[in-house]
Each structure stands twice: as structure tokens, then as C-alpha cells.
Amino acid sequence: MATTKREEIGQERDLTKILVDTSEIHSYDIDYKGESFHFKVRELPWVQLTKIASRCLDYSGKKITVDRSEFDVQFLEAALVEAPWPLAQTRMVVRRLNKDFGSLLRTKVIPEPFTAEDDELKNE
């Protein structure tokens, strides 16, 4: 007999409303210079996004910053299900994208490393 998510977690309460369904796939099309580039991205749990962002922190100056380029690459490596290039070559391809296409990809597909709520928590 198959187990439900509730049984898998060992809870009496239904937690499906607050859990990420990592099998959920989002599709995005980026139109660029007369061509359409299709991407499929799986939903990542909050803790995985936080780990990626944490690995991309830069302590080199007086302020801690996020190496946004590295965050973008790591997010895509973890989340991409389908891309216009072989997934194993994501790091190489993303590092060679032109600025215009990279900006579109960041705007449409890649989330912000930290949200405004995260910034508010840091200041409490």
C-alpha cells in the first residue's frame, strides 16, 4: 500500500500546504532575438535555496555580499530539468551567456537569493 505524504513525515496533521512538491515543474520561455528558448525548472525547498545562497556569500569586503553569478549557476544546476543545452554543461554555458540573455534568464527563471523578509530578519 502506498504511503501518503502525511504518513511519510509521521505527522497526524496534513502538511502538504507547507511542503514543496519537488516534482512540480515550472516552464519558462525566453524570447530573444526572434528565437524562443525553453526551460523547465523544478521547485526547490526553502532550505536548499538557503544553502545555495549561503555557499555564495562573499566576505571579502566590510559587508557580506552574495556572489550573484555563482548563485545563479548553482541554482540552475540544482533546479533545471530541461534547457536549450545539455544539463551537464550548465555551468560552462551560463558563464558564457551574453549580458542581455543572462539578464532575461535571471528575471524570468532564477529567484532572488534572499527576500525582503530575510533582510528584515537580519536586522532584528
β-bridge mates for residue 40, sequence order: 27, 82
Question: What percentage of residues in the chain have a pLDDT greater than 90?
Answer: 63
Decide: 80 and 89 in contact? Cβ < 8 Å.
Answer: no
Q: What is the pLDDT of residue 41?
A: 97
Domain coordinates of the chain in residue numbers?
Answer: 24-111
Decide: 65 and 58 in contact? Cβ < 8 Å.
Answer: yes
Would you say the pTM of this structure is higher than 0.75? yes
Q: What is the pLDDT of residue 124?
A: 41
Of residues 116, 114, 121, the one with CA closest to residue 65: 114
